[in-house]
Every structure is written in C-alpha cells, then in structure tokens.
C-alpha cells in the first residue's frame, strides 16, 4: 500500500503539468484575461465621452488583459473608435392609471478598430437590453437600480469588444 501511495505522489506533478498543458492548448484563459494581439496592446480609445460607463469598462478590460492603453492617439499601436455610446429607456408596460410599471433600458455601442491607416475591424453595432419594474414610491431605489443595470450592460459590452479585439490577427 505504501508503494502505491509513493507512486501516486511521484506521478502527481506530471499529471498536474499535463492538465495545465491541455487547458492552455484548448484556449482556456482565466476570466478577465483576454490575450490581445500585439497591435492592440497599446491602443488608444477614441470617444466623445471618455467618462461613459462603457469607455471606463473598456479601459479597465484592456488593463486587465495586460494592455497599456495609450493616452494620446499619436504613437498608439491602434485606435478603437467609439462611434456611438448611447443609453435609451422606454416604457414596457403601464398601470390602469397610465403610470409606468416597467421600463426597458438599451445600451448601444458602435465601434471600429484601425491601425496605421488600415481598418482592422469595420464599424460594428452591439447592444444589451435589460428591463426592470418601476414603482413611483421607490423612485430613488429604482433610479439606482437603473444605474446598476447600465453599468452591468457597459461591462458586458466591453467584454464583447474585448473578444472581438482578441480575435484580430496576430500581425
């Protein structure tokens, strides 16, 4: 029995190394770490509103991926152009007295990516939609809920953009 335990312990490092090798070979990466091609690692994010939830989420996602976003367009390896960054809200349902009961919030982003006068990604539209119930008596809480939904959608959209960026050719 002791020799079987000893043999198992001797094989454990080899088995662990094999599992890690298989995981890295299948494209597995830790959540939040999207490997980027070299052309994107010092990209400049160009947007009219640099403080929007989406732009901030995208910058954080770039940093988590090991990129160092450029502070100026000059000298950047690529430019991520945020052409549209918009949140809209519409009423989904109303009460018998014509008061809103439910809203739908849509976060829409249009972006493109270019590097050295070459278009790497043509303009693309992505969006996320969420709905929430509304009660006028809980106005402050519902406004806070909408803000949380907007931030979550911005984070989700930034993740989508990061997946698009990571799929660019490794040139």
| Average of per-residue pLDDT values in the chain | 83
pLDDT of residue 38: 84
pLDDT tens digits for range 5-47: 566 566 666 665 565 555 555 554 445 455 788 888 899 999 9
Q: Which CATH number is associated with domain 35-166?
A: 3.30.160.150
Instruction: Quote the pLDDT of residue 98.
Output: 82
Q: Where are the domains of the chain?
A: 1-30, 35-166
d(CA 112, CA 80): 6
Residue 36: predicted pLDDT: 84
**For the segment 38-90, what is each residue's pLDDT rounded down to a tens digit?**
888 899 999 999 999 999 999 999 999 889 989 999 989 999 999 999 999 99
Structure tokens at 52: 């929007």
Instruction: Write down how long the chain is.
Output: 171
What angle, rounded to 10 degrees, do the helices at 139-166 and 53-64 form?
Answer: 40
Q: CA nearest 92: which of 81, 105, 80, 79?
A: 105
DSSP string, 102-141: EEEEEEEEEEEEEETTEEEEEEEEEEEEEEEE--GGGHHH
pLDDT in tens, 119-156: 999 999 999 999 888 777 777 777 888 899 999 999 99
Residue position matching structure tokens 């770039």: 62
* pLDDT score recorded for residue 29: 46
pLDDT for residue 142: 72
How is residue 47 written in tokens?
């947007």
């Amino acid at each position: 029995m002791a020799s079987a335990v000893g043999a198992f312990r001797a094989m454990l490092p080899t088995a662990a190394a094999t599992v890690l090798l298989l995981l890295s070979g299948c494209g597995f990466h830790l959540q939040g770490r999207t490997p980027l091609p070299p052309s994107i690692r010092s990209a400049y994010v160009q947007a009219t509103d640099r403080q929007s939830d989406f732009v901030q989420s995208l910058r954080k996602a770039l940093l988590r991926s090991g990129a160092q976003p450029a502070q100026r367009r000059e000298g950047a390896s690529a430019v991520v152009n945020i052409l549209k960054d918009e949140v809209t809200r519409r009423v989904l349902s109303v009460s018998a007295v014509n008061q809103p009961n439910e809203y739908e919030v849509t976060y829409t982003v249009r972006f493109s990516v270019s590097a050295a006068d070459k278009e790497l990604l043509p303009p693309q539209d992505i969006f996320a939609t969420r709905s929430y119930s509304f009660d006028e008596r809980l106005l402050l809480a519902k406004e806070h809920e909408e803000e949380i939904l907007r931030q979550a959608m911005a984070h989700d959209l930034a993740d989508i953009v990061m997946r698009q960026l990571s799929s660019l050719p490794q040139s």
